Structure 1
């Protein structure tokens, strides 16, 4: 949001409300600064997924939204999903089983990046960054859960998002792996100055994020 001529960086919710009929599900007025995490917690049906849909531009018309969502000062309201520069990680990695690891990562690359050698180099660098150097030609079915999570993270980051959403992203990982992948994601977000909105029902995820917590009824 602009204060005079100053643009406030981060993911900003300006008096955002989302309702279904007469029931208000979401009420937010805050900014997630670059590198910080806001955790939204609540039981199933409380509106967590609805909030993510509003941010990504996929909100069902049955819901009513008022207020604004801004990213680095830009109003997202009228932008299509693909123009919002929002990255999202789900509890499932959604890797394409018929494609290699490298081909999966290629889906994250921007179309403006041309040249087979340059695209391959970007993919190899992304894999090396998370300890998976040389994995480009591997079948996703041969990867462990932790390796799949790292590939999904890097595929998302290759699209160069300006904010990150976590949709119960760690819920299917066992305890030890959960802590490891969670630390990797939060550290990466801090290093890249990405504002992060995490929705979860798990208190350990909220504590690990070390940020503000917003509870839904």
Structure 2
């Protein structure tokens, strides 16, 4: 049985030098993707930083980040249960592909080797466990980064323009893979992007930020 989660952003108010930058109320249900769009400087990345727990001290923020009705706003980033997927895959160069996947798993995970093999099969990379991440293509790296995120068993996911550096022909394929897996896992997700096609493939609600 899939465990489902819910993320609520209640009266989020982020300011810079006393001026409002982001004001937001939103509820993201299990498997839903909320897309936040806007031009550079509109506060997209600042919003992600606040939700993830590493907002720079130059900003002032208020409101509540509720995960499964629990207020996580004051918790440090590592205790929030939120996974992140960035523009760059950020694979560890000193670890093999399998090592990267094992890295994020909870310590109590049983039979990690079998789970890694199954995960690689699920993303079309069976037998790649011993490979050096540097030998992978951009699309393959993105798949490993996604699976590393899922194996870390987050309760919600933040997506920071994760498709922007992929070749055009790979973007739609990766969007479908990412959004399908997030839905299957029942994870509430927030995507920030400037790409309208990202929002279309996500298939959820869209919030537009302005300067």
What band does the TM-score fall into relative to the shorter chain? over 0.9
Residue pair 1:108, 1:159 contacting (<8 A) in 2 also: yes
TM-score (norm 1): 0.92
Separation in 2, partners of 1:15, 1:145: 38
Partner of 2:18: 22
Give 1:63's match in structure 2, choosing from 59, 64, 69: 59
Q: Please list every run of 5 or more consecutive structure 1 residues that lacks an aligned counterpart in the other structure.
A: 1-7
User: Are 1:189 and 2:182 an aligned pair?
Assistant: yes
Partner of 2:164: 171
Separation in 1, partners of 2:133, 2:17: 43
Give 2:105's match in structure 1, choosing from 103, 109, 118: 109
Separation in 2, partners of 1:199, 1:139: 30
Partner of 1:91: 87
Matches within 5 A, 1:23-62: 23-62=19-58
Residue pair 1:9, 1:73 contacting (<8 A) in 2 also: no
Separation in 1, partners of 2:170, 2:94: 26
Length, aligned pairs only: 207
Separation in 2, partners of 1:92, 1:61: 25
Give 1:207's match in structure 2, choosing from 200, 203, 210: 200
> The residue matched to 2:139 in structure 1 has which SS?
helix
Partner of 1:5: none
Separation in 2, partners of 1:22, 1:55: 20
Q: Give the ranges of 4+ consecutive aligned residues of structure 1 lying more than 3 Å apart after TM superposition.
A: none
TM-score (norm 2): 0.94
Residue pair 1:17, 1:27 contacting (<8 A) in 2 also: yes
Q: Please list every run of 5 or more consecutive structure 2 residues that lacks an aligned counterpart in the other structure.
A: none
Residue pair 1:68, 1:75 contacting (<8 A) in 2 also: yes
Shift in Å, 1:67: 1.2
> The residue matched to 2:198 in structure 1 has which SS?
helix
Separation in 2, partners of 1:170, 1:43: 17
Separation in 1, partners of 2:63, 2:81: 20
